[in-house]
Amino acid sequence: MPSVASPVSPARRVAAAVLRRVEDEGAYADRALAGEAARAGLDGREHAFATALAYGAVQRRRTLDHVIARLTRRPPGQLDPPVRDALRLGLLQLIFLDGVAAHAAVDQSVELAKAAGGPGYRLVNAVLRRASREGRRIVEQLDDRTPEGAALRHSVPDWIARMWWESLGPDEARALLARVNQPAESALRVNTLAAEPVAVAAALAGREVAVRPAQLDGRLPGGEGVPDGEGVPGYGGAPGGAAAAVLSLPEGLVADGAFDLRGDPLFADGALLAQSRAAMAAARLLDPQPGERVLDLCAAPGGKTTHLAALMGGSGAVVAVERHPGRAEALRRTCARLRADWTVAVETGDASEPRRDGPFDRVLVDPPCSGLGTLQGRPDLRWRATAESVAELARLQGRILAAGAAALAPGGTLLYVTCTISPDENEGVIEAFLDADPAFALDDLGAELPRLRSRRAPRTLQLLPHRDGTDGFFLARLRRSS
């Protein structure tokens, strides 16, 4: 029999397969997408469209299901899963994606439902035709003046919107919620153990990948801490004594749009890796020096471990502790690929246990967290995290911080970092630790980068995706006096 080409575009088929795997198998959307896209052999354009569809439908699930319920008058849970997926994908295109013709969005979802068999395609056709006229208005009418209304409009669980409302205030919380459904910035770090940033930027430009230098702008809109115009490696003293208020990330690059990093020879050579500007700030703010001993608690997959080794110029020692054996093994391979294995010793172990190999000059504590600062790049995370898990994580984070602090030499520096916007896991952990241990004090990072300071604990930093364009990391730097 001659093969019959599917009437559904490859990107939409891949997106539908990802939705199925996320719902049926509890798969992570980013990993399912990588697998399905490779299997289908998607090219760059199709891959970008499949990503927008799959990420968007998973992220905006709550809002899309609200529209489905309005237009079908039944809870989406009562629909056949393939019919519901076809509706979610169709509505996403009609309501939220620019540049997709309405007739294509409707017809392609009808074909997806037909491919699943049964009469459900008729419902898909009727609902999407109505949605092409009314869908945007239904969403625009959702009132985001309360946390619950904003949660429905921007598709997060109520508890996340309430937490951000309380900690950031309504305006900032609404802006953040609007941002968490946008694509994440594509930031890269040049591994200076293997290559020079200028040479890498030139090589990328030769392949028509446009990149720009990376930094974190800590200047207040009013102009506090205006830099002198020079790139300052690390933050701090600009000529004349004024605070630069810009954390420069000389090894960082920001690409205009996504590009196929893993297919690029620079990746295979260990010269380039994906790392957000927020994550790069951690090693930069810890500021390890060549020859020092550094403890890195909770280290896999190793973006920060290898950054520490690179900043130390390959001299000194990093002890990287990771509890999960498979992740520890992957970290060893990453260190070898990035030429950091001379400096880094990976230990499979529990970071909350007391250390016998101290003292260390510097300690990085990057414990497991709820990850709510990374919702743009991890589409299903918002549906996995729970308010209860936050409390449990905060207890573990406190124990790991205490173990790291106990291993620090007098006069040494500790950086506590999370990739979340969750006061109990961030400021709360630091406050409880400082109350219990008078030998430690907070450096005033907020004075150096005032725009980035946390509202609740102004000596610490809380990065915010809508304001800073990068992941929502929390960073606190502690010094041990005795």
- 327: contact with ligand SAM by CB under 6 A: yes
- Compute how many other C-beta atoms are within 10 angstroms of the C-beta atom of residue 330: 16
Q: Which one of the spans 40-48, 300-308, 381-389, 422-430 is the region binding ligand SAM (CB under 6 A)?
A: 300-308
Rg of the chain's alpha carbons, rounded to an integer?
Answer: 24
Residue from the set 113, 180, 193, 300 that interacts with ligand SAM by CB under 6 A: 300
User: How near is the Cβ of 275 to ligand SAM at its closest, in Å?
Assistant: 8
Helical spans, DSSP H, in 169-297 = 170-179, 197-206, 265-268, 277-286
What CA–CA distance (Å, rounded) separates 459 from 157? 30
Q: Which of 243, 225, 222 is nearest to 234 (CA)?
A: 243
Binding segment for ligand SAM (CB under 6 A), chosen from 101-109, 178-186, 197-205, 301-309, is 301-309
Task: Considering only the stretches 69-77, 110-118, 320-328, 463-471, report the one whose residues sit in contact with ligand SAM under the rule CB under 6 A.
Answer: 320-328
Beta bridge partners of 389: none
Please indicate whether residue 335 is annotated as part of the active site: no
Residue 302 is labelled as binding a ligand? yes
Question: Which are the contacts of 386, defined by CB distance < 8 A and separation ≥ 6?
Answer: 159
User: Which stretch in 47-55, 131-139, 169-177, 292-300 sits in contact with ligand SAM by CB under 6 A?
Assistant: 292-300
Answer for which of 350, 357, 392, 444 binds ligand SAM (CB under 6 A) is 350
Number of Cβ atoms within 10 Å of the Cβ of 354: 9
Q: Which of these, 301, 248, 312, 236, lies nearest to 275 by C-alpha position?
A: 301
Return the SS3 of 121.
helix
Interface residue with ligand SAM among 21, 189, 284, 323 (CB under 6 A) is 323
Q: Which of 123, 139, 335, 419 is catalytic?
A: 419
Site map for ligand SAM, 237-276, x if CB under 6 A?
A: ----------------------------------------
- Nearest distance, CB of residue 294 and ligand SAM, angstroms: 12
- Decide if residue 366 touches ligand SAM (CB under 6 A): yes
Measured over the CA atoms of residue 280, residue 339, residue 31 and residue 329, the dihedral's sign is: negative
CA torsion through residues 390, 61, 276, 314, sign:
positive
- For residue 294, what is the DSSP state? E
Catalytic residues: 419
Binding residues for S-adenosyl-L-methionine: 298-304, 322, 350, 366
* Binding site residues, ligand SAM, CB under 6 A: 298-304, 321-324, 327, 350-352, 366, 368
